[in-house]
Amino acid sequence: MNSFIRFSIPFFLSLSALVTTAHADAAPLSGKPGTSADRSSSREENEEFANFVQWREVGEFIDQIVAKHGFNRTELESVFGKTRYVERTIQLVKPAPPGQPKNWRAYRGRFVEPVRINAGVAFWDQYADALARAEAEYKVPAEIIVGIIGVETIYGRNTGNFRVMDALTTLAFAYPDTPNRTSRIAFFRGEVANTLLLARESGIDPFSLSGSYAGAIGWPQFMPGSIRQYAVDFDGDRKIDLSGSPVDAIGSVANFLVRHGWKPGEPLVFPATVTGDGANRWQDLIGKGLVADYRLDELEATGVVPGTELPEHLLYGLVDLQNGFEPTEYWIAANNFFSITQYNRSYFYAMSVIELGRAVKASRER
């Protein structure tokens, strides 16, 4: 973790001091991680006092992080006593009702469109030096960094106005009844702990952090744990500020990708078709995880046909982009495509990042 993780907020001596500090007004919009699409209602409509301190599981959680991280129990009880339940977060994490098939073209249309492309050109023009430096240091193309920040928050326009402590605590202890409830509860409880650790390490009020309904923060929508692990001070001011420094956001996105397997100079995706020549064994390659595991000859043996010549020394995976009731698109993805899916575990997301970045680059060059 970078030793200079601090925010542009005065240092306070203890959590008890932190939680009694007045909070700044939140940003007017909220951003769903990976979509930037949600707009929240007023805080009064979304939040209510829940007295989390009286919840048995919250008490057990406090015991755990006191023992593990050396927090003061009284101070933590004060924090959770001021944390509010946010019903809106519960509604937003619920899965979409069944019946409507996934539609890549509709999804793409939300992100690769004139507003984001024009905003991306302006962003690239303004921060060209930082993007060039990130590309040189991390070997991540500027267009990929631009694509991620554009998809996430429309270049800082839509970073979220939920208090992170409220959103994460609500999801950590009141996650709705879904098939993945157990794993999501574990994830969000980890992020509550990371929020408290980030606040302590940075000398800030944990309630000063605002973000999406799922607790993602700043221009690149990093979760608190990702801030602690992957965020970098890229503007050289000896603090990390993903909400106020687009340059820190640029460097942090690049560092995140490198730490998740980005390989300099390797390709992303290639168009493909599928045939019955391999007895439709290509179907066995669908949904095999976010990793490139197959040699080119192995793909071809199942009936996958590349639309162009591919490097034979790399490993690949088969990506299916469903188009509602229209034919599915198939792509052969290399390692760097799957590195992007570690940012958001979705083929749609990774492809929209790639295509938005390319569209911004092409528009800027014109």
pLDDT at 47: 66
One-letter amino acid at 308 equals T
* Catalytic position from the list 152, 300, 326, 365: 152
CA distance 116 to 156: 11
pTM, 2 dp: 0.87
pLDDT in tens, 232-258: 999 999 999 999 999 999 999 999 999
pLDDT at 33: 36
Active site annotation includes 312: no
As a residue count, the chain comes to 366
pLDDT in tens, 329-355: 999 999 999 999 999 999 999 999 999
| Contact of 86 with 330, CB cutoff 8 Å | no
* Domains of the chain, earliest start first: 15-97+160-233 (1.10.8.350), 269-333 (no CATH)
Which segment of 203-212, 281-290, 345-354 scores lowest on mean pLDDT? Answer: 281-290
Confidence of residue 100 (pLDDT cuts 50, 70, 90): confident
Please name the residue ranges forming H helices in the chain. Answer: 15-18, 43-46, 56-69, 73-82, 87-93, 104-111, 114-126, 128-138, 142-153, 164-174, 181-202, 224-230, 246-259, 296-301, 335-341, 347-365
Q: What is the mean pLDDT of residues 66-72?
A: 97
How many Cβ atoms are within 10 Å of 94's Cβ, its own excluded? 11
